[in-house]
Amino acid sequence: MRIAAVGDNCIDDYFGTGEAYPGGNPVNVSVYAVRLGLAASYTGAVGSDQNGRLLRRALAGKGVDVSHLHTLPGRTAVTRVELCKGERVFREYDEGVLADFRLSGGDLDFLCGHDLVATGLWGRIEGELPRIKARGVPVAFDFADREQGPVLDAAAPYVDYAFFSRREDSGELRDFLRAFRQRGPKVVVATLGEHGSLAWNGEAFIPCGAVRCPVVDTMGAGDSFIAGFLAGVLQKKPLAACMEQGARSSSVTLQYRGAW
């Protein structure tokens, strides 16, 4: 079973501590997928700087296939992060060379050789999803906390598993999940932090509690949930079991600094 993660990456630079860690939604998903025993690749672009070399080495060291990680002249993306009582707060973001990255035909063929493609809001590949879906490859997409916008409009019809980040369950959230599923996805999931997660499959809402654990840093918690969930999908587990696997994966990430 192979997951292709594609899209954005960055170096998470922690304000005031001097710490810096590789990250980015699809990058994190690829690392967590390997941690769960799957094969995973990451397709994207880093700059020709020290951060780019760091990110490439770190991914390869975790066992992620980086054969389609491109190096472009310029800066690797950087996100400034502040840690407030264990909760990460994103500050400035420098997109660097990712602003110019586009998938090649070879990249697309490579992605479609996997069992599932995972990407997200800042990955800049929503326009390529029709071609991926036409080749029969399931697509997972992390929409983060966005409820509307051009990326949602472009991606929704071609996504099988849609993920959103919210703070708690509510009637408004359930209405949103119902409405969004009608736009294309088979399953829509909202991660709810300490309140667990909630999924809508068109027939029933499936809740799942969070796994209680010491929280050191929330960076990557949602991405590790996604990786655990998708591992369950590829293992053909029931929806509730996929969510439980996502919660367990997230609890591991919460107990250390940085995404991985």
Domain of 60, CATH number, reads 3.40.1190.20
Q: What is the DSSP string of 207-219?
A: EEPPPP---S--T
Q: How many CB atoms lie within 10 A of CB 181?
A: 18
Residue 91 lies in a domain: yes
| pLDDT score at 2 | 97
Q: How far apart are CA 232 and CA 219, in angstroms?
A: 22
Nearest CA among 124, 86, 88 for reference residue 7: 124
| pLDDT score at 121 | 94
Residue 259 lies in a domain: no
Q: Are 9 and 76 in contact (CB under 8 A)?
A: yes
| pLDDT score at 217 | 75
Residue 134 lies in a domain: yes
| pLDDT score at 85 | 63
| pLDDT score at 80 | 85
Total tally of structural domains belonging to the chain: 1
Residue 260 lies in a domain: no
The angle that helices 239-253 and 221-234 make with each other, rounded to 10 degrees, is: 140
Residue 168 lies in a domain: yes
Q: How many residues does the chain have?
A: 260
Q: What is the pTM of this model?
A: 0.92
Angle at 122 between CA 116 and CA 123, to 5 degrees: 40
In the chain, which residues have pLDDT < 50?
A: none
| pLDDT score at 84 | 67
| pLDDT score at 28 | 96
| pLDDT score at 92 | 79
Please give the residue range of the domain that contains residue 31.
2-253
Residue 258 lies in a domain: no
Tokens 């119902």, residue located: 178
At 179-220, the pLDDT tens digits run 999 999 999 999 999 999 999 999 999 999 999 998 887 878
Residue 145 lies in a domain: yes
